[in-house]
Amino acid sequence: MSDNKVYPLPFLCQFLAGAGAGMSETLVMYPLDVVKTRFQLQETRILSLGKNIEKITMMTCLSKIIRNESIKHLYKGMSSPILMEVPKRAVKFSCNDLFQNILMKKSQTSKANGIITLLSGTLAGLFESFIVVPFELVKIRLQDANSNYRSPSHCLRKTIENEGITSLYKGLEATVWRNSIWNASYFGLIYQVKKLMPTQSTNDKSVGRNFIAGTIAGCMSCFFSVPFDVIKTKIQVSKVSGCVHNSNWALLSVFLMYKKYGLRSIYRGIIPIICRYGPGGGPLLVSFNGFSELFKKIHQRLSN
């Protein structure tokens, strides 16, 4: 058997690689996710009271959490996203790869181009959204400073009791918009950034190339998806803390919020979001590629 034979990575290997990458990234970056949620919810309440939104910054939000609630609250609700990362990242990367291959066959090309990476990322984000919504609803409600929930299981039980089981999918449309846009931008920009960078011959340089491409793509993707993340947070926390969204439709909500409060209102939390998902985009891609290579070698040995 030729040593140069290409072994397709089975779905199980992609699943495990995505899970490992997602869990690694979450463990490191989660505190900034708490800050992001608090930042967006505080801004909403201040806007409703007609106060100056400039008074809230990421650092004041972070310092208030540490001073008033202790450092451990920076990890509040973490069990929900940890459980979410296994299927979420598996779907993100495996579906992106699956749709890329399908689109390449349809286009009769052996290599992905910019359009294919955008479309495959969009479709992966669509499928990913249906998995993450219940987990994110629990996470958001636990992160809210006004939350009285004791644990993810307590939040889940009370939400179903008070609002019905279908309430677990509140914010689905906004999540579809956010994840589809983020994934399309992320995978599309990774392709474009790598295209502009010189091809690296050594593994160390290739890791650096992936890290740079992933970080740039992660940061830029946030700018396109943040308005829908703001709306999603408001929708999912509503009936719990007094945050009321502007419309039942995410796209219309973004427009109404922009019209009433200005551009800054739909980009509130952009700094902690970039700090959370921007740098995380680099390690995420590097980790996934690293785990993929590991499982590819194991699969190759077993195949021999």
pLDDT band at 46 (very low <50, low <70, confident <90, very high): low
CA distance 159 to 147: 12
CATH number of 11-303: 1.50.40.10
262 Ramachandran zone, left/alpha/beta (phi>0; psi -120 to 50): left
Q: How confident is the model at residue 181 (pLDDT cuts 50, 70, 90)?
A: very high
DSSP state at residue 8 = P
Instruction: Give the whole-angstrom CA distance, residue 224 versus residue 138.
Output: 24
Distances (CA, A) of 60 to 57, 66, 220, 301: 5, 10, 25, 53
91 alpha carbon, distance to own chain's centre: 12
Please state, for a pLDDT cut of 90, what percent of the chain lies above it: 26
Which two tokens mark 68?
């008033």
pTM of the model: 0.77
Provide the residue ranges of all domains of the chain, joining segments of one domain with +. Answer: 11-303
DSSP for residue 72: G
Structural tokens at position 210: 């992936």
C-alpha–C-alpha distance, residues 168 and 23, integer Å: 23
Position 178 scores a pLDDT of: 95
How many CA atoms does the CB half-sphere of 209 hold within 13 Å? 17
Tens digits of residue pLDDT in 225-280: 999 998 998 888 876 554 555 567 889 989 998 998 888 888 877 877 787 777 66
Asked whether 16 and 231 are in contact (CB, 8 A), the reply is no
Among residues 189, 236, 237, the alpha carbon closest in space to that of 213 is found at: 189
Distance between CA atoms of 243 and 253, rounded to whole angstroms?
A: 13
Q: What is the pLDDT of residues 128-161, one digit of tens each?
A: 999 899 988 998 888 787 788 888 889 999 999 9
What's the mean per-residue pLDDT of the chain? 80
